[in-house]
Homo-oligomer: A and B are copies of this chain.
Amino acid sequence: MRLTNYFLPLLKEAPKDADIISHQLMLRAGMIKQSSSGIYTWLPMGLAVLKKIEKIIRDEQTKAGALEMLMPTIQTADIWKKSGRYEDYGKEMLRIVDRHDREMLYGPTNEEHITDLVSTFIKSYKNIPKIFFHIQWKFRDEIRPRFGVMRCREFLMKDAYSFDLSEDSGKHSYNKMFVSYLRIFKKMELNAIPMKAESGPIGGNMSHEFIILAETGESKVFIDKKLLELEAPDDDINYNDDLTEIVKTWTTPFAVTEDMYNKDKFYNNVLLEDRIEEKGIEVGHVFFFGDKYNKPMGASIQNKDGKVIPLQSGSYGIGVSRLVAAIIEAHHDDKGIVWPKSVSPFDISLINLKPSNEDVNKICDEIYESLEKKRYQIIYDDTDSSIGEKFSRMDLIGIPIQIIVGPNSIKEGKVEIKDRKTDARKLVNLSEILNEFQLKD
């Protein structure tokens, strides 16, 4: 993509009400624009990141055996009355009356909706177990939206729901999602720590939040340093294997949020040098709630013995749009964003230092076209901005690799490659520049 054709409305200064670094950087880098309170437009570069995150989640959830479907944003109030949560949800639920005076709402979550669907279609134990997921916009009418897309009203969420015949089988589904989450966050280069959590309005007796450590987090967390050294399961994970041991490894070391904190326990269980007290950002939450929704909503099936029993379920959420901000909180420096490769809006930035020079143009065009053929996504700064502006812009938007082409270096038959994160630079011979980049998958 040539920058002259792109739409990248950078801001020199972030607005004063942008309190946290991710919000400031997303505005400065032209990723989002506020549309109204707590509601955002995703500009081209912001959307590109959102799509990368979505794809990682989709691929990993699919690998774990979950089936993708898509439920609508607008739900009927009827199913919420059936589950008993219609009144409970309070003012955070955006309630709507349609032209026929029917009570509707903008879905804040989908337990009722999926349970209603499953109770219609799944009648036999042969169709069980199943895990469904969807990636859909949700709305929660926060009283005071803040921190940009971190705590907004309209947000993109991945939510999955499992349906099993027994509690044991249900816990295996829970473990599948737990392990899938470890892998998802790892792929985004996030240290997400699972922590025992209160179940809150979702309900149930087993629940873990996945929290990344960040100074700007909203809640305090207390963890054992050992957790930061654990490795997420790698690509040859088999989700049909017993996953209990993996989950145990990740849930045994001390890790709790403020609301479950007990100082004595922390001090007794964790050595002084391993105690970490920091702030955290919740990026995922898994719940196991058994038959809480299945029972009132009639999601029951006949088991092998002919007995009709309610299904056993859990739900599993990831804040997709929030992750864009969370990743920036974890990956930035004083010059701007430093994207992990897996979610970067472009693979490479190509900087033409002197577009008025024909030789420089020719070389840039060649590099641009050749690397696009190798399937790299490239943002090519072909503008007539000053050199300083070009450098600071590319540092701000944080593409991992910069290729810098100017009249001086090409005179020596070389171009520069810079690593945005480490600032490591090397001069590469023009004839070898393309060999630096293998064909992308």
Contacts and interface: CB of A to CB of B under 8 A. Distances in A.
A117 B68 CA distance: 33
B75 A137 contact: no
Contacts of A376: none
A5 B240 CA distance: 13
A6 interface: yes
A158 to B, nearest CB: 14
8 shortest A-B CB distances, which residue pairs? A36-B76, A42-B70, A9-B121, A91-B99, A39-B72, A99-B141, A72-B154, A41-B71
A104 B47 contact: no
Contact of A41 (B67, B70, B76): B70
A33 B120 contact: yes
A204 interface: no
A98 B141 contact: yes
Contact of A139 (B33, B69, B74): B74
Contacts of A74: 36, 39, 94, 106, 139, 153-154
A130 B306 CA distance: 64
B91 A94 contact: no
A6 B69 CA distance: 11
Given A36-B104, A137-B137, A44 B73 contact: no
Contacts of A94: 74, 96, 98
A33 B76 contact: no
A35 interface: yes
A78 B37 CA distance: 13
Copy number in the complex reads: 2
B65 A5 contact: yes
A271 interface: no
B35 A99 contact: no
Given A99-B91, A117-B33, A120-B33, A73 B141 contact: no
A71 B132 contact: no
A308 B334 CA distance: 38
Given A72-B154, A98-B94, A154-B73, A130 B7 contact: yes
A35 B69 contact: no
Residue picked from A33, A35, A68, A132, most chain B C-beta under 10 Å = A35
A348 interface: no
A233 to B, nearest CB: 21
Residue picked from A92, A99, A113, most chain B C-beta under 10 Å = A99
A40 interface: yes
A240 to B, nearest CB: 11
A330 B98 CA distance: 33
A47 B69 CA distance: 6
A214 interface: no
A363 to B, nearest CB: 23
A96 B96 contact: yes
B96 A70 contact: no
Contact of A69 (B41, B69, B96, B143): B41
A43 interface: yes
Contacts of A41: 69-72, 113, 117
Contacts of A301: none
A36 B96 CA distance: 14
Given A41-B117, A92-B99, 15 more contacts: A7-B121, A35-B71, A35-B72, A35-B76, A35-B117, A36-B75, A36-B78, A39-B74, A39-B76, A41-B71, A41-B72, A42-B69, A47-B69, A72-B154, A98-B141
A44 B72 contact: no
Residue picked from A43, A50, A153, most chain B C-beta under 10 Å = A43
Contacts of A71: 35, 41-42
A141 to B, nearest CB: 5
